[in-house]
Structure formats: C-alpha cells, structure tokens
Structure 1
C-alpha cells in the first residue's frame, strides 16, 4: 500500500517531489520545499542537491510507500530529523534518539567561537583537553574533534540513552577514541583540569515551555529545554563551578538564548568577577558567551 500518496498520479521523481511539496505548502509548514526535497532524496538514497538530476527516474511502489509514511508523520507535526532519525550538523551526520535534542544550525556558532578561541590560544594542533556539558547527540564535541586532530573531549550528560547515542555518533564520525562519555550532572562528575568547556545547556524559562511549538514540546527532551524559573539555572552551575575544573587562561563557551546576553554578563560578573564576550549568529542574534578565566 502506498498510503497517503496512492491517490496521486506519481510516475517519476519530479511528480513525487511536487506532490509532497504541495502537501507541505498546503499545511503551511515553515520549510515546505526543503522538507519535501530532503524526504524524497532520502528515500532515493541520494543527496538533496542531486534530486533534480533524478527527476525522470521512475518511482517504485516501495519508494512511494516509504515517502508516504514519512509524509504522514511530517504532517502530524514530527520534524524531518525525527522522521529520519538523523540530522546534519557541521557537515556531519548525527543519529537522534528521544533523549537528545536535534542539533540546530544556530549552534554551529558555538563551534565557530570555540575554534576561534583555540586558534587564539595555541592553534588547532594543540593537544586540547575539553569538556562538553550536556552533550546530547555529541554534535558539538564531535564537530570540534574533527577540527582539532589532537584534542580529547570528556562528554557529560545526565542521560545514559543520550550518551549511548553520542557514542554511536562518535564512532560514525571516526573520533570515538578521543571521545570519553561520562554520566553526570553538569560539572559534578569532573575533576579536570580542562583547557576549555563548551555547553549548549537548557535555557528556556519554565513559564515559556508551554508556549513552544508542538514540534519542540512533543519531540525534544524537556531536560534539555527547561532552564528553570529565570532560564539561568544551568548557567549558574557552569559559571560557578568552572574555575574548579579549568586550567589557567582557559575558556567557558556557552550557547545562550537571544535575550540572555545582558543577564549572562551580569551573572558572570556576580559569580566570578569576569566579563564576557558575546558572539552573534548569522541572523545577528546574540548566541554564544565566552568567558576567559585567567
């Protein structure tokens, strides 16, 4: 059975893509064209950018059934990454699980800021030892390990399921021998010393959670979203405990919400007496704070 798509006349790849795109546009999905292209290309086991080259290819009943099932899931509100069970980040592929966030493009700003820190403090070839707190899929840590060939990362997460997913992703991206998963809460399980710490912690205010989109609320783990009443709970743990596990002239680099830069600056000054540097994402929004510990 071809499911949802069986009522349409789908003779080739071009027709299939156009039908899926139309369904997504009618549903007013925010990235209807891209979602359609990604799902159809995945079913054909090709890169989305190469889809146009296959337009004249006949669509098998098996492919039609697979795409139909995926389209139904997407129309029910399941994000494309969750439908496929994987997501691209930093040009790498990451498997997802219910215990992990989907790595998002904005978070690449944290990778970029960290690489800039490394370049300024010894270069990419230095044998960096760093920690990734709340590693989830391992996306941040693994992206950094692919760019820093002599680095080692201790990747911390409170969820054993998330750590297992991260291990799988480290192996898939050929950095497992330099990726050390540790189960724990924030910095509690660590002794250091580390050259730097990276983290994309939960930073959404508890009261705001209910207003998040269905896709986020239903498919992202709440532990990775809820930052407490003021959205700063995780930052207090990280900033307050960082000095204990960091070397001198080291860095704490954290992703932040678009409206948290000023609050984080005040909090850092209050807790450790240091200023912060803020990095912006491609949309011009504050996205990363960098704290350098002397």
Structure 2
C-alpha cells in the first residue's frame, strides 16, 4: 500500500482528518488496534497529549505532514508504533526502543509486580539488594526495579553490545545508571555476585515457530531476542544452573511463554530451586514464574 495517494498528507490538512484517515487505513489493513495506534502516533509525532488531539481537531498538520505520512506507511507495513516513535511506555515510564532490542510488552510488567511483591513480603525493600537482569535488552526490568527500590544496585547482562548501549541510555535517562553495571556476557558469566534477586525475560519462542509469529514481532524484533532453541527452553536451562551452590538465598522471577509453566518449573526444580509463585497475564496464560534457592 506504500506510496498510494491516500497515504499522503498535506500541510493544510487538519489533525482530525489525519486521525480519521489513519484509523480507516489501519482498520482496512486488519490492524486490530487501529484507533489506538492512530491516536498514539499522532500524539507522538505532533508532541501533544490526548486531550489536545480530541479537543483541537481543527489544528493543521503543518510541518508534521510528511512525518505523519511516513509513520502511516510504516504502520501499514506492521512496524510497531513504539518502533516508529522510538519509545515505549513501561510501568509508567518512557523507554527508548531501537531495532537492537525487543519491543517491551505490557505483560512484562508482571515480572516487576511479582519481583516487588517478593521483595516486600520478605521485608527487603529498604535493603541494599543486589539485582541481576539476564538478557536485559532495553533495560526495562533492571531500570524499573532500581527506580522502585532506591537502595538496590543492579547488573544488566546481554550477549548484544548494541542492546546494552540502549539499556545504559535508558538507565541514564531515569537516573539509575550509577547503580547499574552493564556487562556483555551470556547469563551471569563474569559477574561477581552474589545476587539477592534475578529477573529475566529470555528468548522463549521455539525456533520452528518464529516464522508463524505476527509480522509486528517476526519482522521487527531481533531474532536473538526471540529464538529460545528447538523447544524454546534453552535459556531457562542455562539460568537454572547459575546457582547450584548459592552463597545466600536467591529469588528468581522469569517471564515465560504460554504453556511453558510446567516445563520451566520442572527444569528449575531439577536444579535445586523451589517454586514460589506463578502469575497469569491478561489472556489467562501463566506468564511469570518465581523460584528461590537457599545455601
């Protein structure tokens, strides 16, 4: 559809017209979130909030017309809104998103919720906790936890140096970089520890299932952040072996794929971990599992 006349916007077109045109085009392409996507794109591109968008529909696009047309073409190619704008909101804060990192999903906020519940249930929220984020990507987990736990320090690891650069930038923007170490490694190799809390949203898609993913994910998320091996469980097996001989009690909170709860739990039990809790996502699938291991 790129290049067709209906995707061209003029300087003297109104915001209201642009919103209606984008919504119709997205819906015709089968994008279920068409109204929301059109609204968020225009707000981001024009630098206005939702109230201004709805109460001043007569505002002209002006210099933003070309940017709006380009954004519309990109969304019609199923590029996610957050990638077009370069930012994603997570846990009430804004994070930079680039092609080098996974586009954060709302379900991943559940990892933060469960981690904080465990910390508070054990009376550790004021302690100088050591937190590790394995496969940090954009750094949403470690940065959010350090924002919520101001006495904690963190280590963020990733096999991608480009992803770590994004994570560090996000940490700097949020003011937690001074409490975070960024290490290009696999798992926690080369990280001193010990850690009180480990979090991770690892790759968990079975390699053979990647081609069947929605184009928003398949065509735009880094393959490295999706491919969990033949059965999607490779990285969980690696993480489970990290603390065979722990120096102190460690808690672990993991995001998992739909239907993986039993297999992931079995992997960790076999390595000496004890299940703590599970949490479902809005779709009713177990999305997060938590474990602990003692010395």
**TM category, shorter:** over 0.9
Cα drift, residue 201 of structure 1: 0.5
- The 1-side partners of 2:5 and 2:161 are apart by 36
Distance between the aligned counterparts of 1:179 and 1:190, measured in 2?
A: 12
- Partners of 1:265 and 1:276 within 8 A in 2: no
1:258 aligns with 2:258: yes
Deviation string, structure 1 residues 52-81 (Cα, Å, up to 9, x no partner): 133232221x21111001101111121111
In the alignment, the residues of structure 1 paired with residue 5 and residue 41 of structure 2 have an alpha-carbon distance, to the nearest angstrom, of 16
Tell whether the 8 Å contact from 1:5 to 1:64 is kept in structure 2 after alignment: no
CA distance in structure 1 between the partners assigned to 2:51 and 2:138 by the alignment: 25
Structure 1: where are the runs of 5+ without partners?
none
| TM-score (normalizing by structure 2) | 0.93
Unaligned runs of 5+ in 2: none
1:269 aligns with 2:273: no
Q: TM-score, normalised by structure 1?
A: 0.93
How far is the alpha carbon of 1:242 from its aligned partner? 2.8
CA gap 1:142/1:65 in 2 versus in 1, 3 angstroms: same
Distance 1:49 1:121 in 2: 42
Q: What is the CA–CA distance in structure 2 between the aligned matches of 1:73 and 1:273, rounded to whole Å?
A: 45
Shift of 1:36: 0.1
Aligned pairs for 1:44-63 within 5 A: 44-48=46-50, 50-60=52-62, 62-63=63-64
Partner of 2:171: 170
Q: CA deviation at 1:140?
A: 0.7
Structure 1, 113-122 or 40-49: larger mean CA deviation: 40-49
Q: Does the 8 A contact of 2:97 with 2:138 survive in 1?
A: yes
Distance in 2 separating the partners of 1:86 and 1:9: 25
**Which residue of structure 1 lines up, in the alignment, with residue 44 of structure 2?**
42
The Cα offsets for residues 194-250 of structure 1, whole Å up to 9 and x where unpaired, read as 111000001111111121122212111111111111111100110111345x54232
What do you get for the CA RMSD once the two structures are aligned? 2.1
Distance 1:50 1:144, change over 3 A: farther
| 1:49 Cα deviation from its structure 2 partner | 5.2
After superposition, where does 1:236-247 map in structure 2 within 5 Å? 236-244=237-245, 246-247=246-247
Q: Indicate the SS of the match to 1:153.
A: strand
Partner residue in 1 for 2:287: 287
Conservation of the 8 A alpha-carbon contact between 1:269 and 1:275: yes
* 43-52 vs 29-38, which moves further: 43-52
> Does the aligned pair in 2 maintain the 1:268–1:276 contact within 8 Å?
no
Distance in 2 (alpha carbons) for counterparts of 1:7 and 1:111: 41
